Amino acid sequence: MAGAELIGNEEIKEVMEVLETGVLSRYDFHDKRKGVYKVAEFEKAFADYLGAAHALGVTSGSAALKVALTALDVGHGDEVIVPAFDFIATYESVLEVGAIPVMADIDDTFNLDPGAVEKRLTSRTRAVIPVHMCGSAARIEEIVAVARKHGLLVLEDNAQACGGSVGGKKLGTFGDMGIFSFDYYKTMTTGEGGLVITDSKRLYDRADWYHDHGHDHNPAVGRAQEGRSFLGFNYRMGELQGAVGLAQLRKLDEIIAGQRRNKAALREALSTVPGITFREHVDPAGDTATFIGFSLPDERAARALQGELKDNGVDSIYYKENAWHYAPRWEHLIAGATANSKGYPFTSPLYTGTVDYSVEHIPHAEDLLARSLFMAVPVIMTDERSRAVTQGIEKAAAAM
């Protein structure tokens, strides 16, 4: 549960500063707010932390994906390549802007395989969304190189590896745009919330306008007095979220350090399991360690280990059967069941391709996820809890 484990006086102090002014909106009310602009401060601090030029706070990670795809002008008739092992929001965001998500295979990082991008390429492909799942990076430099070769846009979904890096460069900053989620389960949290980052002023402006009904936020004339380029919607982050985000961001490196310590202890205990191999990391030094992933020689062994772990009080996740993280399990996606009765965008006359979510496109995901387990890594683990878990793992290992 990462950042949620550490909510305390720092978050309370930040939130109280907002409540003392009574101004809960990030915009306007300049004479009432006594210089308190938490969302703007959070955006600036987050962009500096990542080394990105621009950050825009929004209501959720899902909203961030939709705002970013809209800023990139991805839409009707387009295809967007996304990994088969993912959280469903990535697929939903593509459909929300009227485009079609195309499911692609993963590699031993458990993330999008750069080679699979080329396999799923068509004349309609506009963009690719690499997703850094379970705390650790995709082969992002290779994916960006493949995308550049074919003229594709890159939107990095970094909802799950906030603070992670490759070669010292923070995840989210490799593509044209990046997104983050701060929902309650993520590495740092604002309850609900998200953020879009980019180095492009043009893309930032488009995201900014779209996320607030087309307002261009020109400080010289004031909000709602300005010129408007296009229609938008409301995905504004509120001041209470911005306040919590500031306090959580200051704890982010501490969160990651705690997880890394606990992950090392889990890894040591798991090493006693016969035949175990660990998830491949593109850059182990940049792993945020929110999860530990490992594989067994076959499905039977993975299921047996999960049973033994459970009997010894240790929870693990078998993602191949998880309802939200593996595309072949999404019956509503496969049925083309969007929320409108006309079935858009799958039925759009602007879409000239054929939708195909069959598992023949993802042989590596089918094999790897069938024989792999994950465990969530806490930030805080008492010595007592740590002993109980490592002993549970060692007992399970001995039974294998």
Ligand X SMILES: *Cc1c(COP(=O)(O)O)cnc(C)c1O
Residues serving a catalytic function are 186
In sequence order, the β-bridge partners of residue 79 are 100, 125
Of the pair 89, 97, the CB lying nearest ligand X is at 89
Instruction: Answer yes or no whether residue 198 interacts with ligand X by CB under 6 A.
Output: no
Residue from 79, 157, 239, 308 in contact with ligand X (CB under 6 A): 157
Contact 211, 67 (CB under 8 A): yes
Q: Shortest gap between Cβ of 244 and ligand X (angstroms)? A: 14
Of the pair 194, 378, the CB lying nearest ligand X is at 194
Instruction: Answer yes or no whether residue 113 interacts with ligand X by CB under 6 A.
Output: no
Instruction: Answer yes or no whether residue 317 interacts with ligand X by CB under 6 A.
Output: no
Q: How many positions of this chain bind ligand X (CB under 6 A)?
A: 13
Of the pair 61, 245, the CB lying nearest ligand X is at 61
Residue from 62, 70, 190, 241 in contact with ligand X (CB under 6 A): 62
Q: Which residues contact 347 (CB under 8 A, 6 or more apart)?
A: 336
Instruction: Answer yes or no whether residue 189 interacts with ligand X by CB under 6 A.
Output: no
Instruction: Answer yes or no whether residue 60 interacts with ligand X by CB under 6 A.
Output: yes
Q: Shortest gap between Cβ of 2 and ligand X (angstroms)? A: 12
Instruction: Answer yes or no whether residue 183 interacts with ligand X by CB under 6 A.
Output: yes
Residue from 54, 82, 90, 128 in contact with ligand X (CB under 6 A): 90
Exposed, middle or buried by CB within 10 Å (0-12, 13-18, 19+), for 272?
A: middle
Of the pair 290, 372, the CB lying nearest ligand X is at 290
CA angle 65, 322, 394 (to 5 degrees): 120
Amino acid at 398: A
Instruction: Answer yes or no whether residue 161 interacts with ligand X by CB under 6 A.
Output: no
Give the residue nearest to ligand X (CB): 61
Task: Report the distance separating Cα 196 and Cα 181, nearest Å.
Answer: 9
* 24-32, 59-67, 277-285, 368-376 -> range binding ligand X (CB under 6 A): 59-67
Of the pair 160, 165, the CB lying nearest ligand X is at 160
Q: Shortest gap between Cβ of 215 and ligand X (angstroms)? A: 23
**CA distances to 50, 244, 256 from 250, in Å:** 13, 10, 12
Exposed, middle or buried by CB within 10 Å (0-12, 13-18, 19+), for 200?
A: middle
* 82-90, 210-218, 291-299, 365-373 -> range binding ligand X (CB under 6 A): 82-90
Of the pair 60, 136, the CB lying nearest ligand X is at 60
Task: Report the distance separating Cα 374 and Cα 364, nearest Å.
Answer: 17
Residue from 38, 52, 58, 61 in contact with ligand X (CB under 6 A): 61
Exposed, middle or buried by CB within 10 Å (0-12, 13-18, 19+), for 322?
A: middle
Quick one: which of 25, 47, 49, 46 has its CA closest to 37? 25
Instruction: Answer yes or no whether residue 164 interacts with ligand X by CB under 6 A.
Output: no
| Residues contributing to the site for ligand X (CB under 6 A) | 60-62, 87, 89-90, 131, 157, 159-160, 181, 183, 194
